[in-house]
Amino acid sequence: MSLEERKRIRLYWRNTSKKLSRFNCYEFWWGEIIPFRRLILGVDGGATKTVCVIADESFNVVGVGKAGPCNYNVVGVENARRNVERAVQMAYSDISDESLKGKVADVGCFGIGGLTTQRDYEIISNEIVPPSSAVNRVIVNDVVVAFYAATGGEPGIVVVAGTGSIAYGANSRGESMISGGWGWLIGDEGSAFYIARQALASATKAYDGRGAKTVLVDMFKEEFGVSDFKDIVPKIYHEVTSTNIASLSKIVFSAARKGDRVAMKILRDAGEELGKAAVAIARKLFDKNEHILIGVTGGVFKADLTVWEHFKRYVLKRLPNAEFTPPVEHPVVGALIMGYRILGIKMSDEDKLSLLKSVARKIGE
C-alpha cells in the first residue's frame, strides 16, 4: 500500500488484536495495515449440479466448489442439503489467500432449483442452505440468478433450458413473472428432458410404422445395449430417472447433425416452445414496441446452435424489438452480481467482463 493510500484511509481500531469489526475499512494484522476485503458467495444449483463461487469486492474469484444436484424435488431434502453444504465447504477450502482464510462471506446469494412456493422457500431456507455459509443469506429460484447473469439485473427476460426449463422476466416498474417451470411430468417444454422424451416417442412410432423413419431407433438401441428396440421399455420404466432420460438428448443432437429430419424437427419444436415462454412474459410485462433484452442459459442452448437459432427466429417474428445477449456459460455469475448489488458495489461493463472471465477460468480448472 502506497503512502498516498495510507493517508487517504481512516483507520478505526479499538485495540491491537486481530479481531476486525465488520464495519472497518482496514484491519490491523501483526503491525501491518491490510485492506479489508468483503466476500460475496454465490450458488447456482438445480437438477444436475450445484456450483458455489466466492469472490472479493474487486471482482476476483477466490474459491470454487462443485457438487451434485440440489433440487429437492428431484433428489430429496437430505441429498440436496448435502450437496449444497459440500459445494460451499469446497469453495471456502479452495481459498488460498491467507488473509481471507477463516473469513465468512458478507452476503451469500443462493439460486436453488425447485423454489416455487412459500413452503419450498421454508424447506430450502431451514433445511438445505447452511445458515453459517454467509453473514446474510438471500435465497431465490435459480432462474433469478440466471436472469442477473444474462441481463446484469436490468429489465429483460431470461430463458433457462437444462434438464428442465423455465423463464423469468422483470420490467422497469418492478413487476416480474415466471413462465414454465412446471416439472418434467406436466411441463419443461424445450428442455433436455422434453427433447429426449419426444425423441423416444418418435422412435416408438417409427418402430411401429406409425411415424417417419428415423436413425433414432438404432441409436437408442445402441445406447441401451439391446438388439430389439422393444427391450428398452423395462430399462426406461424401471432403471432410469428423469435426469437420466434428459441425458439422452445428446443422441437427438447427434442425429440432427447427421441430417435426421425427425431429430431436426424435435429441436426446432424445442426452440419454439422456449420462445413461447419468452413471448408470454414479454406480452405481460412490456409494451408492444418496447425494447426487450433477452438472454438464455442451460445445457440445451450450449449443446447445439439449432435450438438457439429457432428460439431467436420464433421470438423475433413476434417481438421485433428484442435484443439477444450471448448464451450465459456460467449462471452462477448472476448470484455474485446480486451480491454486489446488495452490498452497494457498483459494477461497470468491464467489471462484469472481468468477473465472467475469472469465473470461467476458475470453474474450468
CATH number for position 349: 3.30.420.40
Which pLDDT band holds residue 8 (cuts at 50, 70, 90)? very low
89 belongs to a structural domain:
yes
Length of the chain: 365
Do 11 and 88 belong together in one domain?
A: no
What confidence score (pLDDT) does residue 185 get?
Answer: 86
Residue 72, burial from CB neighbour count under 10 angstroms (0-12, 13-18, 19+): buried
Do 27 and 88 belong together in one domain?
A: no
Rounded Cα–Cα distance for residues 318 and 340 (Å): 35
Do 47 and 114 belong together in one domain?
A: yes
Structural domain for 61, as ranges: 39-149+329-364
Do 47 and 107 belong together in one domain?
A: yes
Do 81 and 125 belong together in one domain?
A: yes
pLDDT in tens, 14-68: 333 333 333 334 444 444 444 568 899 999 998 889 999 999 988 999 999 999 9
What confidence score (pLDDT) does residue 68 get?
Answer: 95
Sequence-ordered list of residues with C-beta below 8 angstroms from that of 195, at least 6 positions apart, any chain: 249, 252, 266, 267, 270, 300
What is the distance in angstroms between the CA of the first residue and the CA of the last residue of the chain? 30
Do 110 and 29 belong together in one domain?
A: no
Do 54 and 128 belong together in one domain?
A: yes
130 belongs to a structural domain:
yes
Tally of domains within the chain: 2
122 belongs to a structural domain:
yes
Rounded Cα–Cα distance for residues 237 and 170 (Å): 39
Rounded Cα–Cα distance for residues 93 and 323 (Å): 40
Residue 206 contacts residue 213 (beta carbons within 8 Å)? yes
134 belongs to a structural domain:
yes
46 belongs to a structural domain:
yes
Mean pLDDT of 325-340: 91
262 belongs to a structural domain:
no
205 belongs to a structural domain:
no
> Residue 247: is its pLDDT beyond 60?
yes
> Residue 252: is its pLDDT beyond 70?
yes
Do 54 and 79 belong together in one domain?
A: yes
Sequence-ordered list of residues with C-beta below 8 angstroms from that of 277, at least 6 positions apart, any chain: 159, 165, 166, 167, 179, 180, 189, 190
How far is CA 304 from each of CA 48, 192, 267, 300, rounded to the nearest angstrom?
19, 12, 9, 7
Cβ atoms within 10 Å, residue 341: 17
Which pLDDT band holds residue 270 (cuts at 50, 70, 90)? very high
Question: Which has the minimum average pLDDT: 32-36, 77-81, 159-163, 293-297?
Answer: 32-36
Do 17 and 66 belong together in one domain?
A: no
- What residues form DSSP beta bridges with 220? none
252 belongs to a structural domain:
no
Do 52 and 98 belong together in one domain?
A: yes
Residues above pLDDT 70, as percent of the chain: 90
> Residue 347: is its pLDDT beyond 90?
no
Do 131 and 62 belong together in one domain?
A: yes
Do 15 and 59 belong together in one domain?
A: no
What confidence score (pLDDT) does residue 236 get?
Answer: 87
